[in-house]
Chains A and B, each alone.
Chain A
Amino acid sequence: MTISGRHLRAAACATVLVLAMADSASAFTVCQVTDTGGIDDNSFNQTAWQGVLDAQEQLGVEGRFLESQAETDYEANINSLLGGQCGLIVTVGFLLGDATATAAAANPDQKFSIVDFAYDPVVPNIMAQVYATDQAAFLAGYVSAGMTKTDIVGTFGGINIPPVTIFMDGFVAGVNYYNDQKGTNVTVLGWNPETREGLFTNNFDSLDDGRAFAQNLYDEGADIVLPVAGPVGLGSAALADELGIEQLKIIGVDADLYLTDPAKQHVYLTSIVKRMDSTVFQVIEAAMTGTFEGGLIVGTLENGGVGLAPFHDMEALVPDELKSELETVRARVIDGSIEVGN
C-alpha cells in the first residue's frame, strides 16, 4: 500500500513538473512595470496593460505586472523582472526612461519596450513607443472651443514632461485654430505653450488634487477642463458630476473614459485616445515573431495610434455643423495642411 501510494505521489509530481515545464516552454511571458498611477487607473497604465491582455487572448502569451508605488521603485521593479523569466519587459511612462536605459545596457539580451520615451541614439534592445498626441488633442481643442459657453476652457497636467505637455500643446493649438477660423476669443487657462509653464499637480495619483485643480479652473470661468494626469482626472470628473455637465465638462485622456469610468461616464465630452494597447500589442507580436528591433513606433492620427473618442451621451449636444467641421479638420491634420506642432 505504502509503495503504491509513494508511486502515485511520484507520478503526480512528475506530471506536475512536466506540465509546468511544458507551460513555461510554450508561453511567451510579457512583464510590465507601471508608473505610480497603478494598473487600474482607468487611463494611462490600464490602457498599456490592455495591450498585454489582448495579446494574452489572441497570441496566448502570459502576462505579469508590477506596480510602482513611488519613483524609487522603478529600478527595483525592473530588476526583479530580470533573470530570464520575461520574454519582453514593457515599462510604462516617461519617468521610467533612465531606469529602462540602465537596465537595457546591463542586460543586452533582454528585450525591452517603453511607452512615451524615445532614445537618441537608438538602443538596440529597446523598442520605444511614442505618440503624436498633439494631433488628437488639436481636435479636442477645436471641439472645446466650439462647445464652451463661457469662452474659457482649462487644462492642467500631472508633471511637466513632454508626453504630458504634448496634450496641452495640441489642445491650445486647436483652440487657437478655432479662434482664427471663427474670429472668436476663447482662452485656455493652465498652459502657456511659449513659456512652457502651466498648472501641474506634480503627481499622477492624487484624486484630491484633480478635484482641487478643476475647481480652481471652474472658479476662473472654465466650463470644459482637460486633466492630463492619468487617474488624477477622476477627481475632476467627480467635481463635474456634482456641478452638473451644464456647468463643467471633462475631456478624458489616454483611454475612452466613457468606457473605462462607467460611474462618471456622463461628464466626459470626449476623450483624447492614445492607443497604447495597440502599440504594446504590436511590440509583443514583433518580439514573438522575431522581428523585434531597437527603434521607434509612432502612433499618429493617420495610423490610428491616437484619436478622438465618440461623444457618446453628448452626441446630441454637439451641433452637426461642428461635427462636420471636425471631419474636415481631421483630414487636414492628417494630410499636413494644418500644422499642429509649434
Chain B
Amino acid sequence: MSDAPKLDDLSRKLLERAAPGRAQFEDLVVVPVFAVIVALILGALTMLATDVDLPTIGRSYVALLQGSVGSLNAISETLTAAAPLVLAGLGLALGFRTGLLNIGAEGQILMGGMAAVIVGFSFPGAPFVLLMPACLIAGALAGAAYASIAGYLRAATGAHEVISTIMLNLISYRLIDYLLRQPWIQKEGRADPISKSVPDSAELPRLLEWIDPNLRVHAGVFLVLIAVLVVYWVLFRSKIGFEFRASGESPDAARYAGIRSGLIIVAAMAAAGALAGLAGANQVLGVLGRATPGFSAGIGFDAIAVALMGRSHPFGVLLAGLLFGALEAGGRQMQVDAGVSIDLIGIIQALIIVFIAAPLLVRAIFPWGFRGSDKAKGPTP
C-alpha cells in the first residue's frame, strides 16, 4: 500500500516531462493565436476609422488570405519573404536565450549579403558546387565577425550590446554606401550605388521555375530548415547550448558553475551574426542577385518581432517567420485587390507584437480561452 503514492508521484513526473503543462501551451500557442485575431480585428477597426467601407474590409482580408496561401504563387511568395526572417530570427532567438538583446541583425544582414556578393562576382568561372557554398560561408563569416565586435565590447568593456549593435547598424549603412561606390564593386556603367551582379553559379537555384518562371521560391528554404534543426540541436542538445541558456537564465550562477561568460557572450553574438549574415546572403543570392543600399529592407528589425513571437524557440521562430512572410505577401494582394494601403499591414504586425509582448492583456480580453490554467496547476487528488 505504501508503494502506491510513490509510483503515482513518479508517473506524474514522467507525464510532465512528456507533455508540458497547459500553462506553457497557453503561452506558446494560445497567446499568439489570440494576438493575431485581436490584431486583425483592430486592423479592421483602423480601416473603418479611415473611411474604408465594410465590403472593402472584407475583400481586403480575403485578399490577405489569397495572397499568402491562396495559390502556388502566393505560397512561393510567402516562403520567399519568410526565409530571411526565419534565418535572422533564429540568430536573435539564440541571443535572447543567452540574455543578449541583439538589435544589430540589420547591420549583420548587410555585411553578410555584401560579402556573399563580393565572393560571388569575384569568381565568375567557379562551378556551382564550390561557389554557392563559398558565398554562403562568406556571408555567415562576415555577419559573425561584425556581430562579434558588439560581443567583444560587451565581454571586455561591459558596453551594452543594445547600444553598440544599434550604432553598428548605422555604421553598416554608410559602409555599404561607400563600398557600393568602389569601382571594383560598382556595376559597370552606373553612377548610383549598385554592385555587380552575381553569376548564375553563385545563385540559390529557384525551385519551381519549371512550372512558371514567375515563381520565386528558391533553395534558401532548405537552408532555413537546416538552420532551424541545427539551432534546435545546439540550444537544447549540445554543451555550448546549455552554457548559452545557463548564462541567459542566470549569469551569476553560470559563472559560479565555471562557465566562461566572456567567451559565451562573444560566441553567442558570433552565432547570431552568422545566422543574420546567412539571411543577407539568402537575399542577395536567392532573390536580388546583387546588392543595393536598401537590400536589408528592415528584415533585421522585423526579425526581432519574429524571435519574440516565436518565444525564442527555433520551431516557434519558424512558425512566426512564416506568419510574417504570409502577412508581407498577402499585404501586396490586399493593396492590389482592395486598394487598401500597404501600411495597414505594418499596423497589424505592430499590433500582433504589442499583444504578444503583453500576455496579460490577451488573457484579460479572452478569459475563457485560458480557463482552468490556475486550477490545472493546483494539486488535484
Contacts and interface: CB of A to CB of B under 8 A. Distances in A.
Partners in one complex: yes
Interface of A: 31, 36, 64-67, 69-73, 75-77, 79-83, 103, 106-107, 159-162, 165, 196, 202-203
Contacts of A83: 73
Nearest to B297: A70
B67 interface: yes
Contact of A66 (B213, B214, B294, B335): B335
Nearest to A157: B192
A97 to B, nearest CB: 11
B254 interface: no
Interface residues of B, number: 30
Contact of B191 (A64, A71, A76, A161): A161
A75 B287 contact: yes
Contacts of B283: 72
B26 interface: no
B332 A82 contact: no
Given A66-B335, A80-B333, 17 more contacts: A31-B336, A66-B336, A66-B342, A67-B335, A69-B297, A72-B287, A72-B288, A72-B294, A79-B214, A80-B73, A80-B77, A103-B214, A159-B192, A159-B193, A162-B191, A165-B191, A202-B293
Contacts, number: 75
A13 to B, nearest CB: 15
B295 interface: yes
Interface in B328-381: 329, 332-333, 335-336, 339, 341-342
A202 B214 contact: no
B116 to A, nearest CB: 15
A73 B328 CA distance: 10
B172 interface: no
Interface string B186-201: 0000111100000000
B60 interface: no
Contacts of A161: 190-192
Given A80-B336, A160-B191, A71 B295 contact: yes
A107 B212 CA distance: 10
A65 B293 CA distance: 25
B292 interface: yes
Interface string B1-43: 0000000000000000000000000000000000000000000
- Nearest first, the 3 A-B pairs at minimum CB distance are A70-B297, A106-B213, A160-B191
Nearest to A77: B332
Contacts of A66: 332, 335-336, 342
9 contacts: A31-B336, A36-B294, A64-B339, A65-B339, A71-B297, A75-B288, A76-B332, A79-B216, A80-B333
Interface in B297-345: 297-298, 329, 332-333, 335-336, 339, 341-342
Contacts of B335: 65-67
Contacts of B193: 159-160, 202
Given A71-B295, A76-B77, A80-B77, A202 B332 contact: no
A338 B253 CA distance: 81
Contacts of A69: 297, 342
Contact of B294 (A70, A79, A196): A70
Contacts of A77: 332
Contacts of B177: 202
A82 B67 CA distance: 13
A107 to B, nearest CB: 7
B342 A67 contact: yes
Contact of B214 (A106, A162, A165): A106
A81 B336 contact: yes
Q: Choose among A65, A80, A106, A165 the residue with the greatest number of B CB atoms under 10 Å from its CB.
A: A80
A80 B216 CA distance: 11
Residue from A36, A65, A66 having most chain B Cβ neighbours under 10 A: A66
